Structure 1
């Protein structure tokens, strides 16, 4: 009986630790084709009703594009506001923003 309780307690602790770490993440990928190697590096996090992420892509010829964005929600006003900025490999930038209400 003690072993079952200890196992259940350890499983609960691991689950709680995993949930507390789930609000931040990173991803790194590399792909190789006949043209060369491309990579992707991304990270993001969520806290206090807002989330953000950032992505960098590098092509096989060294060109880099970045995208970063965030969204914040206010349950009291029943709305979320977000924005995103994308910068292409030649320096051009696109900014987007918007708001959603429910």
Structure 2
């Protein structure tokens, strides 16, 4: 698995229900075997959660590793990381 060309994207969505409006704003890109993604969600009561992460693959060692940080509307943070070999 190799990503050699730069490839960027953006996504913005708004959903309105009988409880209010939710929104999502996300962006990402891939270049030189690394892909990144950042997203922000806003709930009906104005709370915002953010998530950012990246994955890097090394075809020479048949492995990919990545990490992600999520911060909730009250400031709590979760950090995750992992690695896969094939």
Shared fold by TM > 0.5?
yes
Q: Which has the higher contact order (CA 8 A, sep 6+)?
A: 2
Partner residue of 1:98 out of 76, 82, 85 = 82
Tell me the matched-pair count.
82
Runs of 4+ in structure 1 deviating by more than 3 angstroms, as ranges, are none
Superposed counterparts of 1:1-102, under 5 Å: 23-102=7-86
Q: What is the rounded CA distance, in whole Å, between the counterparts of 2:64 and 2:25 in structure 1? A: 26
Larger-Rg structure: 1
> Matched residues in 1 for 2:83 and 2:38: separation?
20
Normalized against structure 2, the TM-score is what?
A: 0.91
Residue segments in structure 2 that go unaligned for 5+ positions in a row: none
Task: Give unmatched runs, 5+ long, in structure 1.
Answer: 1-19
Higher strand share: 2
Which structure has more helix as a fraction of its residues? Answer: 1
Superposition TM-score, scaled by structure 1 size: 0.77
Task: Report the RMSD for the aligned CA atoms in angstroms.
Answer: 1.2
Once the two structures are TM-superposed, the CA of residue 34 in structure 1 deviates from its matched residue by: 1.1
